[in-house]
Amino acid sequence: MGRKWNNIKEKKASKDANTSRIYAKFGLEIYVAARKGEPDPEANRALKVVLERAKTYNVPKAIIDRAIDKAKGSSDEIYEELRYEGFGPNGSMIIVDALTNNVNRTAPAVRSAFNKNGGNMGVSGSVAYMFDATAVIGLEGKSMDEVMEVLLEADVDVRDIVEEDEMVMVYADPEQFHAVQEAFKQAGISEFAIAELTMLAQNNVTLSEEGQVQFDKLIEALEDLEDVQQVYHNVE
């Protein structure tokens, strides 16, 4: 693969900061996934994936149960999955994924966040082609050899296995997210430091100090929006 996931430290840090915001976003994502199919993770693959991700952020069981119970109920809230693409300082690339029950609210809010923080929205497809949808699994306290042995024995195909930030990171196709986790669970490894479905930039860029400050403000403004679930970018 030859490139790293530039959000590792950022994601690790976010587990200890802004927890209420993170929990709220997961609650909505769990609700939407449960509404798409059965509110049972064993019968609903999308819901199972969200719950696996939520586990690495220590989302409380009460929030998970409340979201699933809401999906079982008579709520008629309809949420749309939307993707916005745009550019930050010095041509940096950004993808914004949102869940919203009001498109007329979300699009202007995302556009405003870009415009007020040195960025601009692009048209659909202007950025996404430079990213690859990727499953990322991070394990702590394991060696490269241990991880490779587990995956080889389970005959699970992955894109790459690398050591990063004192973790062993496994990169795979999104469709292999569950298979990779199951391989480790069968080997007695059930705790994951990172378990994400992300958009991985094909090429990362480094910004000047001034550009980085402006970029950080833009990302923060986007992530603070109520309807935004995920923000991906190509900045180191």
Range of the domain at 44: 8-72
Q: Average of pLDDT values for 201-230? A: 94
Q: Give the residue from 134, 127, 133 showing the smallest Cα distance to 205.
A: 127
Domain match, 125 and 206 both: yes
Residue 177 Cα to chain centre, angstroms? 12
Q: What is the pLDDT of residues 81-101, one digit of tens each?
A: 999 999 999 889 999 999 999
- Quick one: tokens of 154? 């389970």
Give the integer Cα–Cα distance in Å for 142 and 138.
10
CB 37 within 8 A of CB 44: yes
**What are the tens digits of pLDDT across the range 156-193?**
999 999 998 889 999 999 999 999 999 999 999 989 99
Place 131 in a pLDDT band, splitting at 50, 70 and 90.
very high
Quote the pTM value. Answer: 0.89
DSSP state of 14: H
Q: In this structure, are strands 167-172 and 160-164 parallel, antiparallel, or unpaired?
A: antiparallel
Domain of 35, CATH number, reads 1.10.10.200
For residues 212 and 196, state if they share a domain.
Answer: no
Cα angle vertex 110, ends 199, 20, to 5°?
Answer: 75
Q: Is residue 150 part of a domain?
A: yes
CATH number, residue 175: 3.30.70.980
Q: What's the pLDDT at 91?
A: 86
